Amino acid sequence: MSSEEKRTWISAVVGVAVAVVYLATVLSKVPDTDVARIAYVGPMLTSIGVGIGAGIVLAIVAAMASPRDAGRTDERDREINRRGEYVGFYVMSIAAIVPLVLAMAKVEHFWIAHALYLAFVLAALASAVVKIVAYRRGW
């Protein structure tokens, strides 16, 4: 497994895990509380920071585990990355319509922020899935 594929797996697993924990924690408060009163900004920023930090730390650990492969990329890696990033861009572009519509409908900021957060998570996951499939099925 190339270092790029390892990083892709790390970002996919960390991104999904952090988002699931955050969304389960915050959205569990929705049935009992008015969404305008739910403090979500701090936990959301914390989850974003934890996701970035954990991704960096795990990528460093993976690079230290196989230092000869760390940082090595070839044309195949670059092409797979490009394709994955294109798909992520298109998913984000389409998914961003939802928070835009919510803002136009003057929905609570809570829902707009979470729709945008989910759009980012879906874009990153789609990008990672495309890359992993390309690595696994051959490119």
Neighbour tally for 63: CB within 10 Å: 15
Tell me what the pLDDT averaged over the chain comes to: 92
Q: Are 26 and 38 spatial neighbours (Cβ–Cβ below 8 Å)?
A: yes
Residue range 51-71, pLDDT digits in tens: 999 999 998 998 888 777 766
CB hemisphere CA count around 63 (13 angstroms):
12
Q: pLDDT band at residue 126, thresholds of 50, 70 and 90?
A: very high
In the chain, what percentage of residues exceed pLDDT 70? 98
Q: pLDDT, tens digit, for every residue of 80-91?
A: 999 999 999 999
Domain enclosing residue 126, as ranges: 3-137
Note the Cα 49 to chain centre separation in Å: 12
Residues 49, 14 contacting (CB under 8 angstroms): no
Tokens of 33: 């509380």
Q: What's residue 133's pLDDT? A: 95
Whether residue 102 has pLDDT greater than 80: yes
As a whole number of angstroms, the distance between CA 135 and CA 80 comes to 8
3-state secondary structure of 16: helix
Give me the helices (H) in 28-108, please.
41-65, 75-95, 97-104
Q: How many domains does the chain have?
A: 1
Query: Is the pTM of the predicted complex or chain greater than 0.85?
Result: yes
